[in-house]
Chain A
Amino acid sequence: MKKTIHINVNHKPFELSVEPNQTLLEVIREKLGLTGTKAGCLVGDCGACTVLVDGKPVNSCLMLAVQADGKQVTTIEGVETPQGLHPLQTAFVDKGAIQCGYCTPGMILSAKSLLDRNPKADEAEIRKAISGNLCRCTGYQKIVEAILFASRYSP
């Protein structure tokens, strides 16, 4: 039996009718059409599906959509500001931190959650913050450099 949930995604309220066995990931991608959130391992190991729920990064494949009722969700589509790309997004592009791009939305959301709490995070804190996000291309170095750059030069 479907349940009605109210969630706020990227500052827009939605009333959605969802099946209890649908994950937040499925609803974000298939009901809302926000395909920036990626489906990877589906068991919480890769972090490709990372979104922010009430500001905290979580694996959206491990959360039922019904559990997100009443919550604020931020996906990669909600990171851009009216002034343009978020400083983290600009840094990822400029520093070559994107190769295939599949881990990038999750990486940026984990990094954003860190910098929102700790704007001057150091390298060790950054590496810990992205430790649930796997990248098979970059070897992480350029990703860490991009986040460090954003933390040093963001206003």
Chain B
Amino acid sequence: MIMLLPRFQYHEPASLAEACRIMADLGGSVRPIAGGTDLIVNMRRKTVAPDHVVSLGRIKELCAMDLSGRTFTIGACCTVASLAESSDIASEFHALREGALSLGSPLVRNLATVGGNLVTARPAADLPPPLVAYGGSVTLQSSQEQRLVPLEQFFLGPGQTVMKPAEILTRIVVETPPAFSGSSYIKLGTRRALEISIVSVGSFLTLERPEGRIQSARIVLGAVAPVPMRARDAEKTLIGEIPSRSLFVKAGETAAGESKPIDDHRGTAEYRRAMVSVLTQKTLQAALERANSSQRE
């Protein structure tokens, strides 16, 4: 006998406007559902039992990806598998592709959505570090207003974001990287699928020119603070410098010093700090190689 989910009323709006209206009218105990890979698990464990569930799955505009202009727009209901399979993402956003391929399992990735991986605000989630590294923003929509929030300001703590109860995360907006940019994301776990990160790092670099100095850098650490965190001091060590192994070692050590890991059953704080250093170096090296070989002018 299968343990049943708590009962709820199900709503399936066909448009975003209708979804916003339903969210506003119902108030209180209402949850949107996209892929459902977190919500259904939480309902199964009885940690949430909403009276109403609002499906976002039939709203076409939430399922589209658009890389036609200077910005790349990803609908919140795009599946993680669709990110991993996108040729646009494979050519321009390596770290995002690596994040998508690190998430859950192939079975989970076919259901889970990019928006879901953000709104749940888990400190070890795989898509926030790459998306923060690209300087991404999210659009939050309610029946009252629409606002664009930089992802860096979106997360408040484990499970906590700036979203208001009736808001829906509709899309992720990322600037197309400048020429001579590269990125990389590495997740450290004890197994290679269905794993929650012990530490993860996403790095993004832009060079002045191939083999040139570092013009800008973003390093984002996952699972070592309550929210995905920028290693700003480590970034500063890189700006204006010629890339080298010793420079990346210094950046890695600086990032380790900035991280705020905890001890838990997945790893000790000391181990996590050491791995922040290693993963920072490795992601910077991979980002550098990609920046050097980037073809775009």
Contact = CB atoms under 8 A, between A and B. Distances in A.
What size tier do the contact residues of chain A reach? 35 or more
7 contacts: A20-B9, A20-B10, A30-B2, A43-B45, A62-B36, A110-B106, A132-B104
A132 B10 CA distance: 29
Q: How large is the interface on B (under 10, 10 to 19, 20 to 34, 35 or more residues)?
A: 20 to 34
Contact of A44 (B4, B8, B37): B37
Contacts, number: 96
A139 B185 CA distance: 30
A67 B110 CA distance: 13
B106 A62 contact: no
B60 to A, nearest CB: 13
B141 to A, nearest CB: 22
Nearest to A66: B10
Contacts of A75: none
Interface of B: 2-10, 12, 33, 35-37, 40-41, 43-45, 53, 55, 57, 81, 104-108, 110-111, 192-194
B2 A62 contact: no
Contacts of B192: 131
A16 B104 CA distance: 31
A80 interface: no
Given A29-B2, A131-B106, A132-B194, A64 B33 contact: yes
B170 to A, nearest CB: 19
Interface of A: 1, 3, 19-23, 25-26, 29-30, 39, 42-45, 47, 50, 53, 56-59, 61-64, 66-67, 110, 128-129, 131-133
Contacts of B105: 44, 47, 131-133
A24 B2 CA distance: 12
Q: Is the interface of B mostly helix, strand, loop or mixed?
A: loop
**6 A-B pairs with least C-beta separation:** A132-B105, A131-B193, A20-B10, A132-B107, A21-B5, A56-B110
Most buried by A among B4, B6, B12, B107: B107
A19 to B, nearest CB: 7
Contact of B36 (A42, A50, A64, A131): A64
B41 A50 contact: no
Given A42-B44, A66-B10, A66-B55, A47 B107 contact: yes
Given A20-B53, A132-B194, A57 B5 contact: no
Contacts of A30: 2
Contacts of A50: 107
A23 B55 CA distance: 14
B174 to A, nearest CB: 25
Contact of B194 (A1, A20, A29, A45): A45
A103 to B, nearest CB: 12
A57 B57 contact: no
Given A23-B40, A64-B36, A129-B106, A58 B10 contact: no
A38 to B, nearest CB: 11
A59 to B, nearest CB: 5
Contacts of B9: 1, 20
A3 B55 CA distance: 14
B108 A21 contact: no
A48 to B, nearest CB: 11
